[in-house]
Amino acid sequence: MKLILPDGKPFEVEKGKSGREVARAISISLEKKALAYSLDGVLHDLDTVIPGEGQFALITEKSQEASDLLNHSTSHLLAQAVQHLYPKALFGFGPSIEYGFYYDIDFNEPISEEQFPKIEEEMLKLSHANLPIVRKDISRQEALVLFKDNPYKVELIKEILEPISIYTQGDFFDLCHGPHVPSTGFIKHFKLLSIAGAYWRGDSKNKQLVRIYGTSFFSDEALKKHLSDIEERKKRDHRKLGRELGLFMISDFGPGFPFWLPNGLILRKTLENFWYDIHTREGYVFVQTPIMLSKELWEVSGHWANYNDAMYTSKIDEKEFAIKPMNCPGGILIFKNELHSYKDLPIRMGELGLVHRHEASGALSGLFRVRAFTQDDAHIFCTKEQLNDEIERLLKLFDKVYSIFGLSYDIELSTRPEKKYIGDIAIWNQSEKILAEVCQKAGKKIKINPGDGAFYGPKLDFKIHDSMGRVWQCGTIQLDMNLPQRFDLTYVDQNNEKVRPIMLHRVVFGSIERFIGIITEHFGGAFPTWLAPVQIEILPVNNAIHGETAAKLKELFLDNGLRPQIDNSEEKLGYRLRNSQMMKIPYTLVIGDNEMKDGTVTYRLFGQKDQVTVKIEDFIALIKQDIKEKRLLKGE
């Protein structure tokens, strides 16, 4: 049997050999490092017999798949420890997630984070025991007997196809598809992080279980770094910074509906003005569509059938209406409002449109998950001949915007959903191929995300990386040949015939609200000067003596389009300097006798210790250049 190794070389093995035996044949040291193996991209346990020929790779600590493998295995270690300490506990799900794992458990008794050290101690004992983690395929009937005392597992067993797999380690067994690391001895560096409530299978009608979150790494250094990062993330939490910097609030009178405070509104409007400016230069026109439209429109668009659960509805004059969850149908109606020639295309139609979607109350989180948000939408109507150029143009726009914020990104191609989708599969396949080819031509690597496309078309999803290494879904480009057909959109071509346009849906920020949450944490609240709600803090040393000069300076800065404020409180200068730093204001100016006499200002940049004295006109030129270039701050 021939296996193709990662270096492209063939490797002959006998049939019936396991991944471990192949690893041993390659090298003894590799066998010790191996955690699992992949065949044609599918992961298998290390001791599983290799099912056939194909592309073969051993998974080690350095492999991309290793973290998920380790964290999933650690969730089972947690469950085994809990079973020892709480014999009456019943287990639900225990998957790996980004940066860790969780397990949903019905403890049948109160539990808190105070019990974590005891559970971790038991997990360490099981780790030191180095128990083999063994897979076994069994029948449905065998599984029902094994898990007869656990209604959660029984519910799952009745739904999944045979054969059903379980994993055992010592006296513990769990229903699981796997794969896992070879033994508990590989699980050494872990930490239980937090506890939360979670309804069984995410349904509020079901019992609420205890969800224990944790994380696991291959080295103590990596674990300590991650825990340090968590502490830094807590400091950067946009909900915390939102309160401290006066950006936004959420009221119990409107869960999921943000209120913008004075500083937050300045930040938001600045971001919107930037969006309008960069899109004007890209040839966009701007529209605004109604927030509520009739049920019939949403039926034509397909939202009523595919998105109804998330829509807010109401009756007007005995007719059913829905608050828009998306802006697309409104933009389509504007396109249909007049006859278009091929000479008009492409039409790039932008809208900062407020939409509403009903999110579960348990999912709401600051600005990251809200029920009312503004999408930075644009809908591009173009010919087939223009399509590739328009997508390439969008890729360049995304590059430009994200680089301004110091954000890198990856691209995923999300393909046709398995069930809820509209249109012919042939159109979907053609659309997916076009998106992939344009990215390839532009030199953009893409990862396939099967089944995650919008119900009306495939999309390119832009996953941005912030300063903490976290990944966020922001921008998207959706190729839509279906809605133009459903709405019977046409333009008149060179032959004076009506032709169907192609539609591109796209957002760069995703939503204004969520993007502000992301960049608040990305910058740690220390926004670049162009974006900062307050750009200059003016501190008169003595209000009675220097207050008038400070007031004149403020007026001068305002005349130059800057955003200054004066702290003329009676606090000591040192206190006011510290407060300006805590509010993360880019430039702090101290005005004393010398500044008043010489017509200078002494400024200090956020996060820096040095103070610099310059002429007033030089300072204005300096800060204007900072804003024009949209420089990123170099903080502490």
Q: Which two tokens stand for residue 592?
A: 């004393």
Q: CB atoms < 10 A from the CB of 491, how many? A: 22
As a whole number of angstroms, the distance between CA 427 and CA 421 comes to 12
Q: Which two tokens stand for residue 497?
A: 């015939």
**Active-site residue, selected from the candidate residues 153, 226, 324, 379:** 379
Kindly state whether residue 252 falls inside one of the protein's structural domains.
Answer: yes
Name the burial class of residue 61, with classes exposed (0-12), middle (13-18) and buried (19+) by CB atoms within 10 angstroms of its CB. Answer: middle
Q: Which two tokens stand for residue 200?
A: 């069984």
**Number of structural domains in the chain:** 4
Q: CB atoms < 10 A from the CB of 156, how many? A: 17
Q: What domain range is 127 assigned to?
A: 66-235
Task: Say if residue 174 is in the same domain as residue 222.
Answer: yes
Cα–Cα distances in Å, from 229 out to 223, 232, 236, 617? 10, 5, 10, 42
Q: What is the reported pLDDT for 634?
A: 64
Q: Is 328 a catalytic residue?
A: yes
As a whole number of angstroms, the distance between CA 521 and CA 526 comes to 9
Q: What is the reported pLDDT for 581?
A: 93
Q: Is 205 a catalytic residue?
A: no
Task: Say if residue 618 is in the same domain as residue 498.
Answer: no
**Active-site residue, selected from the candidate residues 80, 83, 169, 375:** 375
Q: Is 348 a catalytic residue?
A: no
Summarize the chain as % helix, strand, coil (round to 5): 40, 30, 35
Task: Say if residue 313 is in the same domain as residue 224.
Answer: no
Q: Which two tokens stand for residue 462?
A: 């832009």
Kindly state whether residue 181 falls inside one of the protein's structural domains.
Answer: yes
As a whole number of angstroms, the distance between CA 395 and CA 477 comes to 9
Domain boundary among 200, 235, 270: 235
Q: Please state whether beta strands 600-605 and 587-591 pair in parallel, antiparallel, or not at all (unpaired).
A: antiparallel
Task: Say if residue 314 is in the same domain as residue 428.
Answer: yes
Domain boundary among 522, 545, 568: 522
Q: What is the reported pLDDT for 174?
A: 96
Task: Say if residue 30 is in the same domain as residue 73.
Answer: no
Task: Say if residue 552 is in the same domain as residue 485.
Answer: no
Successive 10-residue mean pLDDT values, the chain, 636 residues: 90 92 92 94 94 94 94 97 96 91 93 95 97 95 95 93 92 95 97 92 88 96 93 91 95 94 97 97 96 93 84 92 93 95 96 92 86 95 93 95 94 84 80 89 88 82 88 90 89 95 94 96 95 97 93 96 94 93 95 93 92 95 96 69
Q: Is 357 a catalytic residue?
A: yes
Q: Is 377 a catalytic residue?
A: yes
Q: What is the reported pLDDT for 416?
A: 86
**Active-site residue, selected from the candidate residues 357, 506, 563, 576:** 357
**Active-site residue, selected from the candidate residues 459, 522, 563, 604:** 459
The identity of residue 234, as a single letter, is K
User: What is the CATH number for 448?
Assistant: 3.30.930.10
As a whole number of angstroms, the distance between CA 352 and CA 374 comes to 6
Task: Say if residue 313 is in the same domain as residue 188.
Answer: no
Q: Which two tokens stand for residue 515?
A: 């993007």
